[in-house]
């Protein structure tokens, strides 16, 4: 009988140690996940703060609308497929145009006509460079809004 209580006590202590180990491991894992998520969010916010652009000019030839945008921030922009162009016309409201990798663009798309001066990293829109884009839409809109992949707009 004495051996049974000794075995039960030892078994109870082992269960307590295993439970403590599992809880401590779970707590450390959760802490690591939260820390990594906070670091990633901080990196995103730093990139957002460094992203800025200014529309320099816009023209039309009746078929396409051409826009020149200066990257006046400190972050390069590489992901053209995540840049959206919004044009506002008083008669039809806002229209969204997504990136297309061919020139000239099809309807509801925009295309990169070129970057000038494209000196630092070719085909990447670096700070101080001007992106020339064409949008498959005629007329001059009332407002132009360009939104980058990290959520920064040109307002």
Confidence of residue 66 (pLDDT cuts 50, 70, 90): very high
User: pLDDT (tens digit, 9 = 90+) per residue, 92-108?
Assistant: 899 999 999 888 888 88
Domain spans in the chain, listed from the N-terminal domain onward: 1-50, 52-147
Between CA 86 and CA 141 the distance in angstroms is 10
Q: Within a 10 A sphere around the Cβ of 59, how many other Cβ atoms?
A: 10
Backbone angles phi, psi at 86, to 5 degrees: -120, 125
Reported pTM: 0.74
The residue ranges of DSSP E strands in 15-142, in sequence order, are: 53-60, 65-71, 84-89, 93-99, 109-116, 130-135
How confident is the model at residue 5, as a pLDDT?
84
What pLDDT score was predicted for residue 133? 94
pLDDT of residue 123: 87
């Amino acid at each position: 009988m004495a051996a049974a209580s000794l075995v039960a006590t030892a078994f109870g202590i082992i269960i307590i140690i295993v439970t403590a180990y599992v809880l401590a491991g779970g707590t450390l894992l959760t802490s690591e996940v939260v820390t990594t998520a906070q670091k990633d969010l901080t990196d995103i916010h730093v990139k957002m703060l460094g992203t800025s652009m200014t529309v320099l000019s816009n023209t039309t030839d009746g078929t396409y609308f051409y826009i020149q945008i200066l990257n006046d921030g400190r972050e390069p922009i590489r992901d053209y497929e995540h840049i959206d162009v919004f044009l506002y016309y008083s008669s039809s409201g806002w229209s969204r145009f997504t990136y297309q990798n061919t020139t000239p663009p099809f309807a509801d798309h925009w295309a990169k006509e070129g970057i000038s001066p494209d000196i630092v990293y070719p085909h990447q829109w670096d700070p101080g460079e001007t992106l020339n884009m064409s949008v498959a839409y005629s007329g001059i809109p009332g407002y132009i809004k360009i939104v980058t992949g990290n959520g920064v707009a040109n307002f």
